[in-house]
Amino acid sequence: MRPAAEKKIRTPIRVAVTGAAGNIGYALLWRIASGDCFGVHQPVILQLLEIPPGMQRLDGVIMELRDSAFPLVHDIIGTDDPKIAFNEAEAIFLVGSRPRTKDMDRADLVAANGPIFVGQGKAIDAVASRNVKVLTVGNPCNTNALIASANAPGISSRQFTAMTRLDQNRAVGLMAQHAGVPASKVHDVFIWGNHANTMYPDPRFGTVDGCPATELFDSDWLEGSFLDTVATRGKAIIMARGASSAASAASAAVDHMRDWWLGSNGRIVSVSLPSEGWYGVPEGLVFSFPCRCEDGEVIVVDDLTVDAFAQTKIDENVKALLEERDAVSNLL
């Protein structure tokens, strides 16, 4: 007989990460391998994608992963072929994208990265699990998720999401710092809109150590310094450390996928997904909404009140995302 404490061995899941040798991918892989994302009893097969010039760096990343001897890692595959990386994948992190340079505006970034996500969407459609969960991290992530989904017609668009959890985590961290409490005491602060400086961190339903955030903080701070600090945090990090957010972005990706996979335990979390008309957002637009995750599904909390200020911010994000969608209409 097997010892009572012995766990039933689970079938490994295939997890694909693009841009795996980049800074975010590097930080992300150790969190996945340790069980932080899919659970401490869930084995994984890591399927890592890089562009050809990045393959030597990827070899080094794979060496380090093997040297870490993670019990949950059953195999590691490194490739520059999306169809190998996405083969039978049940979870995909689309991290790799062209970074924004100082001479590029957002429209340039959209144009540069769009074709990448056309190819990846087609590869996902061809070889990934029909139940795959796709998280787009590479920017502009909302529109890149839209492009990937449009090029994977065999997979439900609800299985493609984009990451605004980093914005949420920044908002939570800032509130916790301002109140002098751990971040674990801040709940139900979420993001509307686009992963860009137009996004809106909504504090109206949030609590801090059980106290409503709108009672704890004055409206001038919430609609001024709080909003501006969250919106410009990425730029501030670049100015401070000379490089963009990597560890915090990887941590947010883990949070997003873990809640999607295992559930958010009743908490409201931020997920960008194709709109079904919620809150007046045009259908199909990949937009961040307040959500709960249950049984592997993302459920939009669709009955919250929207005040005049929040509506203004929602409208601003809709306008920006419609402009991005129009700019890539030939890729959809």
- 143: β partners: none
Q: Collect all residues with Cβ–Cβ distance below 8 Å to 240 and sequence separation of at least 6.
A: none
How would DSSP label each residue in 207-235?
EETTEEHHHHS-HHHHHTHHHHHHHTHHH
What one-character DSSP code corresponds to residue 178?
A: H
Of 68, 78, 61, nearest to 22 (Cα)? 61
- How far is Cα 92 from Cα 135, in angstroms, rounded to an integer? 6
Q: Phi, psi (5° rounding) for residue 187? A: -135, 150
> Would you call the peptide bond into 140 cis, given omega within 30 degrees of 0 as the criterion?
yes
Q: 3-state class of 84 per DSSP?
A: helix
For the chain, count helices (H), then strands (E). 12, 14
Query: Which run of H or of E encompasses 91?
Result: strand 91-94
Nearest to 244 by CA among 94, 111, 117, 139: 139
Contact 304, 205 (CB under 8 A): yes
Q: Tell which phi-psi region holds residue 75, choosing left (phi > 0), alpha (psi between -120 and 50) or beta.
A: beta
User: Which of 41, 74, 187, 195 is flagged as catalytic?
Assistant: 195
Question: Is 195 an active-site residue?
Answer: yes
Q: Which two tokens stand for residue 167?
A: 């914005």
CA pair distance 13, 73, nearest whole angstrom: 10
Residue numbers annotated as active site: 195
